[in-house]
Amino acid sequence: MGSFSPRLPLLLLLFSFFTLLVEVVTASGFKICAYNVERFDSAKASDSRVLHTVKRIVSRCDICLLQNVVDSGAVKMLLASLNRYDEYTYQSVSSKSLGNSPADMQRYIFIYREGNVTVMGQHQYQKQNAFVRAPFAVQFQSKKTAIKQFILVPLHSGPSQAVQEIDRLYDVFKEVSKKWNNTNVMFLGDFHAGCAYVTRADKKNIRLFNNSNFSWMIRDKVDTTVSSDTNCAFDRIVVHGKPFLKSIRPYSANVFNYVKAFKLPKSKAQEVSNNLPVEVSLKSSALLLQATPLLILISVSAIVQSFLSAL
Give the chain's domains with CATH numbers: 29-282 (3.60.10.10)
pLDDT digits (tens, 9 = 90+) for 58-105: 999 999 999 999 999 999 999 999 999 888 999 999 999 999 999 899
Asked if 108 contacts 138 with a C-beta cutoff of 8 angstroms, the reply is: no
For position 254, what pLDDT does the model report?
A: 98
Which pTM does this prediction carry? 0.85
Answer whether residue 300 shows pLDDT above 70.
no
**Number of C-beta neighbours around residue 238 at 10 A:** 23
Q: What DSSP element (H or E) covers 281?
A: strand 278-282
pLDDT above 70: residue 306: no
**In 59-115, where does DSSP find H-type helix?**
72-85
Residue 285 has a pLDDT of 80
Q: List CB contacts of 35: < 8 A, sequence separation 6 or more.
A: 54, 57, 58, 64, 65, 66, 67, 273, 275, 277, 278
Contact present, 194 and 216 (Cβ < 8 Å): no
Rounded CA-CA distance 202/205 in Å is: 6
Of 198 and 301, the structure prediction assigns the larger pLDDT to 198
Look at residue 44 in the predicted model and tell me its pLDDT. Answer: 98
> What was the pLDDT predicted at 29?
76
The predicted model gives 227-247 an average pLDDT of 97
Tell me, what's the pLDDT at 11?
47
Percent of the chain with pLDDT over 70: 83
d(CA 213, CA 239): 8
Nearest to 127 by CA among 57, 177, 175, 55: 175
Q: Beta-carbon neighbour count of residue 146 at 10 Å?
A: 20
Q: Within 10 A of 129 (CB to CB), how many other CB atoms are there?
A: 7
Judge whether 304 and 297 are in contact, CB under 8 Å: no
Q: 138 or 288: whose pLDDT is higher?
A: 138
With 90 as the cut, is the pLDDT of residue 267 above it?
Answer: yes
Q: Is the pLDDT of residue 257 over 70?
A: yes
Quickly list H helices, the chain.
Answer: 7-27, 42-45, 48-58, 72-85, 162-180, 207-210, 242-246, 258-261, 266-272, 286-310
For residue 149, CA distances in Å to 88, 118, 120, 261 come to 21, 9, 9, 31
Q: Looking at residue 24, what is its pLDDT?
A: 46
Confidence of residue 271 (pLDDT cuts 50, 70, 90): very high
The band of 305, judged by pLDDT with boundaries at 50, 70 and 90, is: low
For the chain, what is the mean pLDDT?
Answer: 88
